[in-house]
Homo-oligomer: A and B are copies of this chain.
Amino acid sequence: MPVGTQATVKTLSPDDLRMAGAEIILGNAYHLYLRPGSDLIEQFGGLHGFMAWNRSILTDSGGFQVFSLGHLRQLHEEGVTFRSHLDGSSHLFTPESVVRIQQELGSDIAMVLDECTTYPSDENASRESFERTTRWAQRALDAHSRSDQALFGIVQGGMHAHLRQESAAQLVELDFPGYGIGGLSVGEPKPLFYEMMAVSAAALPTPKPRYVMGVGAPDDLFAAVAAGIDMFDCVLQTRLGRNGGLLSRQGRLNIRNARFRTDPGPIDPSCDCTTCQTFSLAYLHHLFRSEEILGYRLASLHNVHWTVKLVEEMRQHIRSGTFAQLHRQFLAGYAPPNHVAAADQRKKWKGRDRSS
């Protein structure tokens, strides 16, 4: 799912997204509640009508954003009070109000308000955090009334395997139609991230969608699918695109690199996106050197399309029983992220990964 935090997937129009093959995009309750207001969006037929997107939408509850963007936040059993990062105004999010906001937004899938456990967190703090998330999940479920909208619970538990299992078990008890896995890819070492993702996924029922939140690097997507994950979202494709990072089977390219100045080839010869079918690396290099907005858009379009196609390929290989082979092949050809990726990683460590 490409991320459309503020009712737009950055640089892309609904037509671009359809051309890129996106079936579902993300919106964000925190951002849209603050601006332009979920009540306003409701008057325009919800987020679908407001942004003219006729395919599916999942809205994140805004829990993560309150913790990463909100100022002076105070957490209590009732909910969380915070000041807007836009104008300093004071707000209270409760499990109930966040359900109401998402019902106004009219997304197809809503997420419960969760407490995103900070990293690192010891066992006691992690337990307190996921147990509150479960109590909030129950309240969200009680408040939820829209039958055309699915509400997902969110597994937390920090980096403690047994806590994640407990968290999952409590939520499964509540019988959500699908489950998010939160609090991952927040700065922890990759092996720990993969382990916690696998433990969380294994503790959730296979027939229901399992969604790992804020994950989107190609190698992480393979690890997620291998762990049984069905859904993921990430700003990486569009943020990387705006910064000149381009995804290809060989790894990430930095289009600003001088070696592309005269290159007549496409980003990825196997890619059938508009950018690869129409424009040379040399032209994209020129657009980025000249800081032209069209460059940010063409790069984002490619990255989203390329990722959607990659996931389609995974799906085909799962059906034909050859996913493990595809996974090995991909990793063998895919170079580790270069310095564009490193810059992206630094931003991620600031804890804003799911935010813009």
Contacts and interface: CB of A to CB of B under 8 A. Distances in A.
Contact of A283 (B12, B44, B289, B298): B44
Given A6-B290, A8-B290, A50-B283, 5 more contacts: A36-B282, A36-B285, A44-B282, A50-B286, A293-B296
Contacts of A6: 286, 290, 292
A18 interface: no
A123 B203 CA distance: 87
Interface in A4-20: 6-8, 10-15
Interface of A: 6-8, 10-15, 35-36, 40, 43-44, 50-52, 261-262, 264, 274, 278-280, 282-283, 285-287, 289-290, 292-294, 296-298
Nearest to A293: B11
Contacts of A279: 52
Given A43-B262, A282-B44, A286-B36, A297 B13 contact: yes
A44 B294 contact: no
Nearest to A279: B52
Tallying the copies of this chain within the complex gives 2
Contacts of A8: 287, 290, 292, 294
Interface centre among A6, A43, A298 (most CB of B within 10 A): A6
A43 B280 CA distance: 12
A35 B283 CA distance: 11
A297 B293 contact: yes
Contacts of A13: 294, 297-298
Contacts of A36: 261, 282, 285-286, 289
Nearest to A6: B290
B10 A289 contact: no
Sorted from nearest, which 10 A-B pairs have the closest CB atoms? A36-B286, A6-B290, A11-B293, A8-B294, A8-B292, A52-B278, A50-B283, A293-B293, A52-B279, A6-B292
A345 to B, nearest CB: 23
Given A43-B262, A52-B279, A293-B296, A286 B7 contact: yes
Nearest to A287: B8
25 contacts: A6-B286, A7-B283, A8-B287, A8-B290, A8-B294, A10-B292, A10-B294, A11-B293, A11-B294, A12-B294, A13-B297, A36-B282, A36-B286, A36-B289, A40-B262, A43-B264, A44-B264, A44-B282, A50-B282, A50-B283, A51-B283, A52-B283, A293-B293, A293-B296, A297-B297
A35 B297 contact: no
A44 B264 CA distance: 8
Nearest to A296: B293
A208 to B, nearest CB: 34
Contacts of A293: 10-11, 293, 296-297
A35 B262 contact: no
A277 B176 CA distance: 39
Contacts of A35: 286, 289-290
A51 B285 CA distance: 12
